[in-house]
Amino acid sequence: MIWHIAKKEIYHNLMTLRFVLMIILLPVLMVANALIYGFGDGGYRKEVDVYNRAMERRLSRVKDDAKENLGRLAMRGPGEIHRLPSRFKFCADGADALIPNSIPIAERSGAARGGAVGEAYNWREVWTLEYLPSNHGSDATTRIKIDWVFIGIFMSFFVILFTFDAIAGERAQGTLSLMMSNQISRGQVLLAKYLGAFFTLMLPLVIGILMNLLIIYLSGSIAFNSEDCLRILGMIGLFALHISIFIFLGLFFSSRVSNAITGLVWLLLTWVCLALIFPSLIGLFVGTLDPIPSIEIVSSRKRAQLANIEDEFRPMELLEVTKLSEAPSPDNPSATRRWATYFTRRYETKTHIADEHVDQQLRQVKLARELTQISPIVCFQYAMEGLANTGIVSYMDFVKQVRRYRQTFIDFIKTEDRDDPESLHIYPVREGLSQKPVDPNAVPRFEERPSYQSVILPVGLLILFNILFFTAAQLSFLKCDLK
């Protein structure tokens, strides 16, 4: 009996104008998405080419430094570190155009007078990570990205059109009481109507996804592997959870009102709140709750602290004897240690200020994301970005991995230096480290590993929303009047 009613619902939906509109618009959007990301000038292939060229430059620089000596490699560092382009940007763009795609290496060099003998010492300060600001002024902010997330939000709107009259419409026509006169429970009727709407909506979605993937595959821009297929299946599962939530929501309102138009109005208001109002208001609230210092303020604080260090080590420009009067050399360990202290103080100050500022920004973003997940639409978006490895969470994970790599690189330098008995083993001064070349292949390389931990919470919330809205729809339908 359940399947009989579900088939009746499917047949009824297939004959409506709203299904005709969806079966046309949804594949059109999927094809447009495939053409933009598969054949567009700024697509995945271009990003990969840029990434590969940057990797070649970085590896070439590391190779040249390693062949010269360990000290030079230690001071110049591993070079600018780029994020790996995501193959699934067409699924969830994640506003990646506004997020930095690399972490540069900051270097500083200069010359100092060498005291009694008056020799010039050309020094180089040890490298530090330098975080780029977000590109809020990009033109990408004015363009709507037709990715799978946008299509999913578009589908949640169509779900409303398919469910607002599912119960209220039949009750007004008198067919609901006739249906319930048979030996079937209200729970079975509700389940049948859910299945009818669900399969009606999933059919054009699956067709559109297959067309989308076929065009992208034929474009040759992305080569999918077995892991990618699992991620695509996971995204289809997210679509199913997302659609299911709004079907239950539609059935809930349809069973609560006596007029189908009233149910449509309530559903539209709820959709606008979940899709637009709640996320915007919560994001604004978090921004005012914990304001982040501007880049100008952070830069000013950094300059002040670095100036204090300069005053401590070089109190007067014309003073003949200062803590850094003598140039470091393998024959002068005491002067080398003083320069090491100077470089270390500057490195720790710059690293602490830069890391703290970025961490404060990321903490604010994390808090805003956690609060905005009261909306199932936002949960769907974040889960899609997590599987696609795009968006701000992907950048947060990238920052953590780069910091771990920073320590790995420093540990490698110190380990290699300990193996040279002729070295002073004083880090981070070029003259205090080994002056022997290093095998370039032994230098640790940065390998970004996608993490899917950020998917767990939004998926769990999507499941929870399904349970809550199903329970609400069930209780509402059990109490509603059939006439």
pLDDT level of residue 321 (50, 70, 90 thresholds): low
pLDDT at 155: 92
Evaluate whether residue 250 is within a structural domain.
Answer: yes
Torsion of the alpha carbons at 417, 420, 423 and 424, rounded to the nearest 10: 70
Evaluate whether residue 41 is within a structural domain.
Answer: yes
Percent of the chain topping pLDDT 70: 92
**CA within 13 Å, CB half, 284:** 6
Tally of structural domains, the chain: 1
Residue 472 has pLDDT above 80, yes or no: yes
Return the structure tokens found at 238. Answer: 């997210």
Residue 282 has pLDDT above 90, yes or no: no
pLDDT at 113: 55
Q: CB–CB of 403/79 below 8 Å? A: no
pLDDT level of residue 285 (50, 70, 90 thresholds): confident
Evaluate whether residue 323 is within a structural domain.
Answer: no
**Among candidates 345, 351, 359, 371, which has minimal Cα distance to 293?**
359
At which residue do the structure tokens 């892991």 appear?
A: 227
Evaluate whether residue 59 is within a structural domain.
Answer: yes
Evaluate whether residue 338 is within a structural domain.
Answer: no
Residue 40 has pLDDT above 80, yes or no: no
| Span 96-149, pLDDT tens digits | 777 888 888 887 777 765 544 345 677 888 899 888 876 544 444 445 678 999
**Among candidates 470, 465, 477, which has minimal Cα distance to 274?**
465
| Span 351-375, pLDDT tens digits | 999 999 999 888 888 888 888 899 9
Q: CB–CB of 440/412 below 8 Å? A: no
Torsion of the alpha carbons at 267, 273, 279 and 280, rounded to the nearest 10: 150
Evaluate whether residue 359 is within a structural domain.
Answer: no
Evaluate whether residue 328 is within a structural domain.
Answer: no
Name the average pLDDT for the chain.
Answer: 86
For residue 69, give its domain range.
2-289+373-479
Evaluate whether residue 367 is within a structural domain.
Answer: no
Return the structure tokens found at 206. Answer: 């699956």
In this prediction, residues 425-436 reach a mean pLDDT of 93
In this prediction, residues 407-426 reach a mean pLDDT of 94
